[in-house]
Structure 1
Amino acid sequence: MSGQGAGGTPGTRLRRLIQEVVKFGAVGGSGLLVNLLVFNLVRHVTDLQVVRASVLATVVSIISNYIGFRYFAYRDRDKSGRTRELTLFLVFSAIGLVIENGVLYTATYGFGWDGPLQSNVFKFIGIGVATLFRFWSYRSWVFKALVPAAEAPPGREAPVKAQPDRVG
């Protein structure tokens, strides 16, 4: 072992983190566009209230983002526990939905800032705050990195598929 800790040299870890942030940003950027497009479309063609339209748009973007994260940004991560992964993704996404739409709710109903421009500004701010939470939670809990056993610190070895007990 090189003595550099899990993941190699500090420069290598920094490059990996930057690549992860770029991929996360690409998926998140497309999710942002989906979110804002659906939000404004729903606001324009229906009579749904602002926060309800926002929640609907957030749900559509969550679906879009899962596909992007699983098959692009985190395609190299552990795929052995898809049910666990999807469950955690939905739980953390729901928390992000509450954060995102809590900002919009507060602006709309707490301060009366409900014009189209104001709604979009506070929707965008809410998405930004929720994105920080989502980045941390997705990389820490949902799309866990596979760490080669040779580089893993004690207790952080790569997942090993369980073998059935043999009766002999």
Structure 2
Amino acid sequence: MSDHWRRRIGEVARFFVVAQAATWVSFLLFNMLLHGWFVGDALLRDRAIPAYVLANMVGMVISYHGARGWVFPHRPPQQADGGWTAYVIINLAAMILPVGCLYLSRNVLGLDSALADNLSANGVGLILAFGARFLLFKRFVFRRPLESAPEPVTTP
């Protein structure tokens, strides 16, 4: 396997680990807010979309710092804010997919159980958004410095 593909596989694997950590935090917070897991009374009972958005904003902060420090440390910030604005915009755009799945599950199909909420938003929706976020983050947030040479392409 070429060095190029080893680097790519390493980036995807690290991105997946960071995404999993952020997702678990978001998952637990979402269920605490909406279904009262571990706390009893749910703060946002019957307000699934605000609960999802709030929980995922916390996950977004975790994800940014993990990606900046571990997944793409070799790609220094090109923007004054370290890419934070682009990162937030991409996350909010990608959040449309799981929020849409949650909306359809609750408002079209009439499913409002914790299982249905989690399968629609944290299952189907996150799977749809994962690949898009990786490519968009790499392209717009964690870019290779302009002065660096392109990565060598080797043929097997």
TM-score w.r.t. length of structure 2: 0.83
Given the alignment, which residue of 104, 107, 112 partners 2:105? Answer: 107
Partner of 2:7: 16
Of residues 44, 64, 73, the one that matches 1:47 is 44
Indicate if the aligned counterparts of 2:98 and 2:125 stay in contact, CA closer than 8 A.
yes
Match of 2:145, SS state, is coil
Ranges in structure 2 where 5+ consecutive residues have no aligned partner: 37-41
| CA distance in structure 1 between the partners assigned to 2:29 and 2:140 by the alignment | 28
Contact 2:78/2:143 (8 A) holds in 1: no
> Counterpart of 2:62 in structure 1: which amino acid?
S
Unaligned residue ranges in structure 1 (runs of 5+) = 1-9, 154-168
Assess, with a 3 A threshold, how the Cα gap between structure 1 residues 150 and 52 changes in structure 2: closer, same or farther.
Answer: closer
- Matched residue, 1:134: 133
Matched-pair contact (CA < 8 Å) for 2:4–2:151: no
**Aligned residue in 1 for 2:85:** 87
Q: Deviations over 1:52-80 (max 9, x none)?
A: 11111111111111111111111111224
The RMSD of aligned alpha carbons is: 2.0
Q: Which residue of 2 aligns with 1:27?
A: 18
Tell me, in whole angstroms, the C-alpha distance in 2 between the residues paired with 1:75 and 1:29.
Answer: 19
Distance 1:145 1:66 in 2: 17
TM-score, length-normalised on structure 1? 0.78
Percent identical pairs in the alignment equals 25
Residue 149 of structure 1, CA deviation:
4.3
Aligned partners of 2:127 and 2:62: how far apart in 1? 17
Letter aligned with residue 97 of structure 2: I
Residue identity matched to 1:15: R
